[in-house]
A and B are shown apart, each in its own frame.
Chain A
Amino acid sequence: MTAGRAPLVLAHTTAALLAAGCLGLTLWRGLDEPAVALAFGALVAVGELSRWSGIGEREPAPLGAAGALSYALLGQIAGRPTHHGVAQVVTVVLAAALAGCVPHVARGHRSTADHLTRRLLTVGFTAVCFQPVYRQAGPHGWGGPAYTLLVVALLVLTTLCDAVLAAALAHSRTRWPFGPLLRDELRARLGIGSAVCATGAVMSPAVAVVGLWALPVFSLPLLLTQLSYRRYAAVRATYRQTIASLARATEIAGYTPPGHARRVAALSLAVGRELGLSGPELTVLEYAALMHDIGQLSLVDPVPAGATAALPVEEQRRIALLGGAVVRQTGVDAEVAVVVERQADPYPEQPVSARIVRAVNAYEEMAREEAGPGGPLSALERLRLACAGDYEPEVVESLARVLQRDGLTLPTAG
């Protein structure tokens, strides 16, 4: 337990030390160019205020990130050199981010500490790499396209470090495998992350040429991006709700017991993570698990207790094919339909997601059948014995690990 949390403690301690040191140094030396500091601080604070924790949102405050990065990369303003150092950059970003976080903390969002840690460490890293080098070269040593290319390279490096940091923090919080988490973080960086980097890289030369006018002008396109992302996330959330409702159709029609689809989806997701599936694969898995029983709607009479795992194989396949036909009409990824269709095939012929859905579904049905504290254990035992052809041993083992970790309880139906 404590070993798993080591990266978390380490990151938080480093960020706290960095913040305290920079704050002390700045207090001792005083602020250089307070107007510029105030303008960038306001930008970061506004960015943080508009922060938003949605589903799959990797960079919740793109404007705050871009503002902080561009302050770290600022060497000139309207043609005159600036004099702020690393300590001042970190202090300004810290103060602004703290101010912007107040409403979020008041509303009880839990991720604020991690968010601040990441912001401080990445900004500190960028400033430490950039400011001393820039000061050494002098105001005329840099300029032109070479400057931009160097800045872009530095930002790419920063982004990579940030992705590693984010994955490490998520890993120590959730104990999901590190590799897939890192892969998902990196993939997410391609979208909003690249927009943030480009804005950060462009904002500092623009301020160097134009002065502080560049800040509002440059914030606008990024704000537009942020808005698009929110609408996208909102429609994704609604979409998920609709799929979940469609999945409940079988429960309301009396074909499956209440909460079955949701429990199978939650357990399948946990097993999928344990097996190292990536973000998009997990989405496919979740949708398929939610809708795996939908073929039963075509049956005139319900299967007793909705227990398809006990049916003859031919009947199982028929229901699976009917389900696939319904899923194909829903407009979800065709892969979801494939998983639903193949859920009754022998496991060597199945895609991984279908193996997971099959094993988890069987487990859920068996565990329910045998009420009482021994139910889950004996269900696992029966799955292990049946491994020969139906359920893949690796999937069953990771299901066992997931169950052991979560205390052998089923996710409760709500």
Chain B
Amino acid sequence: MGPVRPSAAAYVGCAVLGALLCVAPLPELPVPWSAIALLAALHAGCEQLPLPRALGRSRAGGSPTPPFGRRALEGMGTVYPVLLAGAFLLPPAAAAFVPLPGALLARVAERPSWLRRGWRAARLALAVWAASRVHWSLGGRDAVAGPHFPDALLTAGAAVLAFCLALTALDGGILTLAERVPARTAWRGLFLRSLAPVAVHGLAGLMMAVLWRSPYGPVTALLVLLPMYVSCWVFAQYHRERAAHQATIRALVQAVDLKDGYTRGHSERVGQASMMIARELGLHDRRVEVLRFAGILHDVGKLGVPTRLLRKDGPLTPEERRIIELHPEYGHEMVRGIGFLGEARSAILHHHERLDGTGYPYGLRGRQIPECARVVAVADAFDAMTSTRSYRRARPVAAALRELERCSGTQFDPAMVRALIRALDRHGWHPVVTAEEERGNAAPPPALPVAGQPAGRVPGGGGA
């Protein structure tokens, strides 16, 4: 994030002013100061609770997460129940005060820290005030104190809805102003995504409030937070493990890199191009992700090819070429045991098949070739042509696309080629790791095409 834009600063200023207005009636109200102090201390404590950090998420996670949406829900496992319990127990002005000390004291990683602290505090205070206001005016206070049960659930539900709406509106506003996200994308899905988790937190908050008022007192109410904290902790562990897992997938590719200097940057780019084609075809998000892995891992079978052959300096004999053409089968054999890869495994096996049936390993033709393999084949050939190799210079993207179109129908599925062209028209081609960068830190590249194919021919990825 760069410097804060003036409009965003003004927006935060307005929010802070609003929060101050919410808290303003506090000195005149006969409020239970001990309850406020206890809840505020609890909230501050929850803000400081350590959770295992996800490592390298920005790199491994694929799509960048919005700075306010997802992260807010992960970290808030114990914070929201406390705040909502406050909203159910206290009058609006007092409830809005509860988040202030914790939010103002919390550590902020990025500068300008006071602006960010102010924003956090004001955001929570306004949302809690809205929830408490709704709850109060519906008579939820008596329902909690009673407790009268279906009524308490209804009023709490309305309050949670208000809380969620207020948060969404505020977050959408800051995304639009500070991060220049278009207003429609900023608000789209934000509300629905956050409603379910906030509702669960709201139930926990309601239970806290009911027990707080009961003869069993605040001590019992605190126990409600323990399952929430454990859940949140496990969730963070899950993210950490997931990141480690993705790093391991990449390590599979890097193992190939030890033998064949090109593979890594190439693999990442093929993954990216496969993902673009899959998105353009309108595939489900899960399949898009699987196809990204298929692209990343498509050449993993090169591990099975003797290093001498991969690095061979000079033309290959037919016998040697046959050995290299075994790599899709080696790759399939390797990843067979990884359940979550699903259809990516068949993409790895069949990415050198050709539509006219002259490819390998099985010589499948047309629709016999799995869809994902047809996607990876196009992505592979595209990157092989547009990246610089020691034996030839990179071709411009336009020339590569012309070549793909020329071979579509015989070698490539025309639908996939068209999808790639449309995707490139729309988003352009911004490879994650460029060939030049890769050259700088890779092992010495082989002096000749590894698969021994002449540079002029469309390699079908074989030269990669």
Partner of A205, one of B150, B216, B252, B303: B216
Q: Are A225 and B245 in touch, CB under 8 angstroms? A: no
Give per-residue flags for B102-131: 1 if the beta carbon is below 8 A from chain A beta carbons, else 0: 000000000000000000000000000000
A310-340 contacts to B (CB < 8 Å): 326-327, 329-332
The closest CB in chain A to the CB of B300 belongs to: A249
Q: Are B200 and A249 in touch, CB under 8 angstroms? A: no
Q: Are A246 and B247 in touch, CB under 8 angstroms? A: no
Q: Are A217 and B203 in touch, CB under 8 angstroms? A: yes
Q: Are B338 and A238 in touch, CB under 8 angstroms? A: yes
CA–CA, A147 and B211, complex, Å: 13
Give per-residue flags for A204-223: 1 if the beta carbon is below 8 A from chain B beta carbons, else 0: 01101111011001101110
B339 within 8 A of A: yes
B359 within 8 A of A: no
The closest CB in chain A to the CB of B307 belongs to: A300
Partner of B230, one of A195, A208, A243, A246: A195
A252 within 8 A of B: yes
Q: Are A232 and B237 in touch, CB under 8 angstroms? A: yes
The verdict on A332 contacting B238 (CB below 8 Å), with A148-B220, A245-B335, A252-B330 known, is: no
Stretch at the interface among B26-34, B253-261, B266-274, B425-433: B253-261
B196 to chain A, nearest CB (A): 10
Q: Are A148 and B303 in touch, CB under 8 angstroms? A: no
Q: Are B259 and A331 in touch, CB under 8 angstroms? A: no
Give per-residue flags for B195-208: 1 if the beta carbon is below 8 A from chain A beta carbons, else 0: 00000100110110
CA–CA, A208 and B203, complex, Å: 18
B231 surroundings in chain A (CB, below 8 A): 195, 221, 224-225, 228
B301 surroundings in chain A (CB, below 8 A): 252
A297 within 8 A of B: yes
A210 surroundings in chain B (CB, below 8 A): 147, 149, 210
B71 within 8 A of A: no
B399 within 8 A of A: no
A285 to chain B, nearest CB (A): 17
The closest CB in chain B to the CB of A209 belongs to: B214
CA–CA, A71 and B429, complex, Å: 62
The verdict on A242 contacting B330 (CB below 8 Å), with A214-B207, A228-B231 known, is: no
B53 to chain A, nearest CB (A): 14
Partner of A331, one of B55, B200, B203, B204: B55
B456 within 8 A of A: no
A242 surroundings in chain B (CB, below 8 A): 245, 248-249, 252, 338
B227 within 8 A of A: yes
A229 within 8 A of B: yes
A187 within 8 A of B: no
Q: Are B147 and A209 in touch, CB under 8 angstroms? A: yes
A145 surroundings in chain B (CB, below 8 A): 216-220
Q: Are A329 and B250 in touch, CB under 8 angstroms? A: yes
A174 within 8 A of B: no
The closest CB in chain A to the CB of B233 belongs to: A191
Q: Are A249 and B255 in touch, CB under 8 angstroms? A: yes
A231 within 8 A of B: yes
B418 within 8 A of A: no
A140 to chain B, nearest CB (A): 10
Partner of B337, one of A245, A297, A332: A245
Main secondary structure of the interface of B (DSSP, over half): helix
The verdict on A297 contacting B244 (CB below 8 Å), with A143-B215, A331-B55 known, is: no
A142-167 contacts to B (CB < 8 Å): 143-145, 147-149, 152
B386 within 8 A of A: no
B304 within 8 A of A: yes
CA–CA, A29 and B254, complex, Å: 70
How large, as a class, is the contact surface on chain B?
Answer: 35 or more
B305 surroundings in chain A (CB, below 8 A): 253
The closest CB in chain B to the CB of A249 belongs to: B303
B153 within 8 A of A: yes
The verdict on A148 contacting B216 (CB below 8 Å), with A241-B338, A332-B244 known, is: yes
CA–CA, A208 and B241, complex, Å: 40
B8 surroundings in chain A (CB, below 8 A): none
CA–CA, A229 and B232, complex, Å: 10
A172 within 8 A of B: no
CA–CA, A104 and B234, complex, Å: 26
A229 to chain B, nearest CB (A): 6
Q: Are A297 and B216 in touch, CB under 8 angstroms? A: no
A254 surroundings in chain B (CB, below 8 A): 304, 306
The verdict on A298 contacting B258 (CB below 8 Å), with A249-B252, A253-B304 known, is: yes
Q: Are A236 and B207 in touch, CB under 8 angstroms? A: no
A403 within 8 A of B: no
The closest CB in chain B to the CB of A226 belongs to: B231
B228 surroundings in chain A (CB, below 8 A): 221, 224
The closest CB in chain B to the CB of A191 belongs to: B230
Q: Are A192 and B230 in touch, CB under 8 angstroms? A: yes
Partner of B216, one of A144, A192, A252, A298: A144
A150 to chain B, nearest CB (A): 11
Q: Are B210 and A248 in touch, CB under 8 angstroms? A: no
A294 surroundings in chain B (CB, below 8 A): 255
Q: Are B220 and A232 in touch, CB under 8 angstroms? A: no
B147 surroundings in chain A (CB, below 8 A): 209-210
B224 within 8 A of A: yes
Q: Are B259 and A297 in touch, CB under 8 angstroms? A: yes
Q: Are B219 and A149 in touch, CB under 8 angstroms? A: yes
Q: Are B234 and A205 in touch, CB under 8 angstroms? A: no
A200 to chain B, nearest CB (A): 10
A8 within 8 A of B: no
The closest CB in chain A to the CB of B197 belongs to: A224
Partner of B238, one of A192, A213, A235, A253: A235
B318-333 contacts to A (CB < 8 Å): 330, 333
CA–CA, A208 and B216, complex, Å: 10
A143 to chain B, nearest CB (A): 5
B235 within 8 A of A: yes
B72 surroundings in chain A (CB, below 8 A): none
Q: Are A330 and B248 in touch, CB under 8 angstroms? A: yes
CA–CA, A222 and B224, complex, Å: 10
B251 within 8 A of A: yes
B229 to chain A, nearest CB (A): 8
List of 7 A-B pairs having minimum Cβ-Cβ separation, nearest first: A331-B247, A198-B226, A330-B251, A225-B231, A331-B244, A195-B227, A195-B230
Interface residues of B (CB under 8 A from A): 55-56, 147, 149-150, 153, 200, 203-204, 206-207, 210-211, 214-220, 223-224, 226-228, 230-235, 237-238, 241-252, 254-255, 258-259, 301, 303-308, 311, 330, 333-340
